[in-house]
Chains A and B, each alone.
Chain A
Amino acid sequence: MAQSHAKSNAKKELIEHMEVSKGTGILMTIALTFLSLVFIFPILLVLLNSFKNKLYISDAPFALPNGETFSGLFNYTNGIGKTGLIAAAGRSLFITVFSVIAIVLLTSMAAWWIARVKSKFSDLLYYMFVFAMIVPFQMVMFTLSKVTDMLNLGNMFGIIFVYVGFGAGLSVFMFTGFVKSIPISLEEAAMIDGCSPIQIFFRIIVPVLRPTMITVAILNAMWVWNDYLLPTLVLDSDAPTIPMAVQYLRGGYGSIDMGAMMAMLVLAIVPIIVFYLSCQKYIIKGVAAGAVKG
């Protein structure tokens, strides 16, 4: 505690030292405010157009809705009817939550064992997981979808195991890196006191691993929630996730219902923004920590 306090004081001093003059500061704030508006603009544009009749979107997206073009919530009701987005959101949520729980629990257990047991076999396991991180999905997409078909895992429950297998690389890598920095003496003391390895893991290692677990959970949640290609190949097309449902709106060549599309984009973005704003501290920290270890 005292240490982190000293650290934040040092950081404050540093920032004071690097501060710009007041005039420059105001200029920079103005420039950054403008840039922020540019960053938010695309999202606001989609929101605006989601209330317009579909015929007035593609040609004049920058026009505000008026008496003629305003269509109320029609795009939302129509789009939800067409895509089944509410059910898709339920599926996305289910898959994301349970995949992330499974990944965090199972890969942290595996990583701990790999880091603590020193043998040729555990080295081999570690390098296989690291290797998996650089393999692009296209390399295995066809054969992976055939394997899940053969095993009858092409559903919401089966895909969780697929995510554990495919997410194992990065997660094991991150957990192993952290476990190696935990002194082994704690575990030795616990073992002398009669703890079993299972108790050691859940009572001693898990509490220490918690910050890394949050990082791994956030990185995997971002991946699974937004993933398009893997669920498209693995799941039945009549039970889509959110990204699949959005892509289905494109339909055949050139026939997009732009109204429904805008409304569905809004509905796809809102949960992400709510989640982001409610735990942005963890998300930003997690991303920074994840990158440093990656």
Chain B
Amino acid sequence: MQKAYKKYFWLFVLPTLAAFTLFFIIPFIMGIVLSFCKFTTVTNATWVGIRNYQRAFSNRDFIDSLLFTAKFTIVSVITVNVFAFILAYALTRGIKGTNLFRTVFFMPNLIGGIVLGYIWQLLINGVLARFGVTITTDAKYGFWGLVILMNWQLIGYMMIIYIAGIQNIPTELVEAAKIDGATRLQTLFKVTIPMVMPSVTICLFLTLTNSFKLFDQNLALTAGGPGKQTAMMALDIYTTFYNRNGWEGVGQAKAVMFFILVGILALSQLYFTRSKEVEN
């Protein structure tokens, strides 16, 4: 069996592997190498050691974007998951219109980041116009604008995952809790929430990585303004690359550090919440 299958490697795996090698593995390795080079295109690269990494910290841009991203991620992850869980809980109580509500809340998730950014720019600027300011007047407007946008986009998605989690809880558990005289709140905290920990793991992972890597929404809503105060890491890397001649290597070095940071965050979060899951 194995032998028979093995011979078909070229047909089954090679097309995917070829595309994956060309458009992922090679660019990835080149990216690491180029982060140690000075270059404007791939062909004129010269080795400069860790200078790009040092230059990445020569001004405040990178650190500022890291702090802004961290702050945004913490606030978004908490708000999105709390609201999504509340909605999921409400929509598993058998009330009227559950399907319609689910449809509506999920819808924004399908709209792309660029379009979302401009929709919210109109709405937020419309509100702020009454106070004579715009979203790029002060960084705090941009920050909360991004948080609201992120909530609008992701709540429905996470809600769907939490609903699936709540519906997978065995009936007997909820019944047993009720027979034992548990109140609704006790059932929620002692049965429902521990039993949906696998969903929590997934939702935290998705909101964490989505918030941390946010780009399109950031570009469309504030484009980093005022100045670079609301530029998140992905946007800072992009502008370092494409808006400043001679800084391509620094952009690539920032990208490598960004990748390492995302990797550490994703893995440690998975490790941490997996350990809190209940064994079935």
Contacts and interface: CB of A to CB of B under 8 A. Distances in A.
B95 A140 contact: no
Chain B interface size band reads: 35 or more
Interface in B1-25: 1-2, 4-9, 11-13, 15-17, 19-25
30 contacts: A15-B93, A17-B171, A18-B94, A29-B96, A32-B97, A32-B101, A42-B123, A45-B119, A106-B15, A113-B5, A118-B2, A136-B258, A138-B234, A146-B42, A165-B24, A168-B19, A168-B24, A169-B20, A184-B1, A191-B4, A226-B111, A226-B115, A228-B113, A228-B216, A243-B114, A261-B118, A265-B119, A273-B110, A288-B163, A291-B164
A29 B41 contact: no
A235 interface: no
Nearest to A147: B27
Contacts of B27: 140, 143-144, 146-147
Interface of A: 10-11, 13-20, 25, 28-29, 32-33, 35-36, 39-43, 45-46, 49, 57-62, 106-107, 109-110, 112-114, 116-119, 125, 128-129, 132, 134-144, 146-148, 151, 161-162, 164-166, 168-169, 172, 184, 187-188, 191, 197-198, 201, 222, 225-229, 242-243, 246-247, 250, 258, 261-262, 265, 268-269, 272-273, 275-277, 280, 283-284, 287-288, 291-292, 294
Nearest to A15: B94
Nearest to B30: A143
A144 B23 contact: yes
Contacts of B41: 146
B23 A166 contact: yes
A69 to B, nearest CB: 14
B174 interface: yes
B251 interface: yes
B141 interface: no
Contact of B105 (A16, A36, A112, A261): A36
Interface string B151-193: 0100001001101100101010011001000000000000000
Nearest to A92: B112
Q: B interface, by DSSP: helix, strand, loop or mixed? A: helix
B272 to A, nearest CB: 16
A40 B157 contact: no
Given A25-B95, A139-B255, A132 B24 contact: yes
A247 B112 CA distance: 12
A139 B256 contact: yes
Contact of A265 (B115, B216, B266): B115
